[in-house]
Amino acid sequence: MKRIVYTLAVGKPKFAECALGLGRSLRLLGDTTHRVVVTDMPDQPWLPAFDEVLPVEDSLDWIFFSKLTALKRTDADQVLYIDGDSLAFRRLDDIFDACAGKGLCVQGEWISEGDWYGDVAETCRRHGVPRIAQFNGGMIYYERTPECEAFIETIFDYGRRAAELGFKRDDPLIPDEPCIGLAMAQTGQGTLLPDHVDFQNSAVGLIGKLELDVLRNRCEFLCRRYTVRHVRPYIFHASRYINYLIYWRQLDRLRTLEEYEARHSFGYMTQLHKLTRSVHKRIIRWKTR
C-alpha cells in the first residue's frame, strides 16, 4: 500500500514557504511517507522537503477541492492531505493506520446548532438532516477503493452545486468543508474521527500560551473547542496563526536546519563541541586517576 502526504502551495510565495515548513518538519521527524506538493511555483526549493512536485490543474475558485485529486494524479493507495500551513510533531503512521479501511476520514464532531458557514440549525432543516459533520479541512484522509472514489465524486458534485446549498463564505472560493460535511450527513458515507484524537488541531479557542518549538519537537496548548482541554497534536495547523511571529520563527528554524544539513557532512562536530569534549575528558581523567 503506497502512502503519500499531499499538500497545496498556490498563489503568494509565503504559501510556498509554509508548505516547505510542513515538508521540512516531516523530514526532521524522520517520517518517510512520500511527500507530494501541488503548486504554481515550481522554482521554489522543493527538494529535499518534497519528493514530487505537480502543477496546478484547477481554477482558483475550485482550489479547495484539489485536496481530493491525489488518486487521479498519483499512484497512491492511501492519501493524507495536510494543509501547507501546518507543522508535524509526530510521525504519520498512527494516522494512516487509524484511518485504513475507513474510506474518507476527517476529524471533528457532529453538530446540529451554532454557526458554521451559516446557521447550522437552518442548514439541517434546509437539507433534511438531523446534524452535519463539522471539521477542519486542514487534514483529510482518503484511499483507493471503489467506494471512496465514488464518494469523492459525490463531494465534487456537491461542490459544483455549492451556490444552491446556501453556505456562507467571505470570498469567492468554493468551500470544501461544508460540502463534505453535508455529503457525509446525507449519504452516511465517510468517517468522522472524534476531535479528541488530536491528529490535527488549529488551536481554535486558545487559552493562554501557545507552546510551539520545532527544535524541541514541542507543540502543546490549552483551548476551548467542544470542551476545554489540553492538546498535543500530531499536526499543528497554523490557520489563523499564520499571522503570528511564533509560527514564522519555526519556519526560519526549519530552513536554517536544512541549510546546516547541506553544508555539513555526517557526524559533523563544531569546534566548540570538540573543545568542550577535550575539557571534559581531562576532568574525567583527573577525577578517576
What is the CATH classification number for the domain harbouring 33?
A: 3.90.550.10
17 occurs within a structural domain? yes
In a domain, 273, yes or no: no
pLDDT tens-digit series, residues 193-238: 999 999 999 999 999 999 999 999 999 999 999 999 999 999 999 9
H/E segment holding residue 16: helix 13-29
Strand pairing class (139-143; 228-231): unpaired
Supply the pLDDT for residue 143.
98
Examine residue 288 and state whether it is found in any structural domain, yes or no. Answer: no
Q: Which domain covers residue 115, as residue numbers?
A: 3-205+233-262
Q: How far apart are CA 182 and CA 134, in angstroms?
A: 9
- Chain segment 26-38, per-residue pLDDT in tens: 999 999 999 999 9
> pTM for this structure?
0.95
Give 250's contacts (C-beta < 8 A, 6+ positions apart): 21, 25, 87, 212, 213, 214
Asked whether residue 94 is assigned to any structural domain, the reply reads yes
Residue 63 lies in a domain: yes
pLDDT digits (tens, 9 = 90+) for 48-79: 999 999 999 999 999 999 999 999 999 999 99
Q: Considering the domain boundaries, does residue 284 fall inside one?
A: no
Q: Which of 92, 90, 188 is nearest to 81 (CA)?
A: 92
- Number of domains composing the chain: 1
Instruction: Convert the pLDDT of each residue in 229-288 to its tens digit.
Output: 999 999 999 998 999 999 999 999 999 999 999 999 999 999 999 999 999 999 999 998
Phi first, then psi, for residue 255 (nearest 5°) are -65, -40
**Sheet containing 206-213: order of strands:** 206-213, 218-224, 228-231
Residue 162 maps to a domain: yes
Within-domain flag for 144: yes
Share the mean pLDDT of the chain: 97
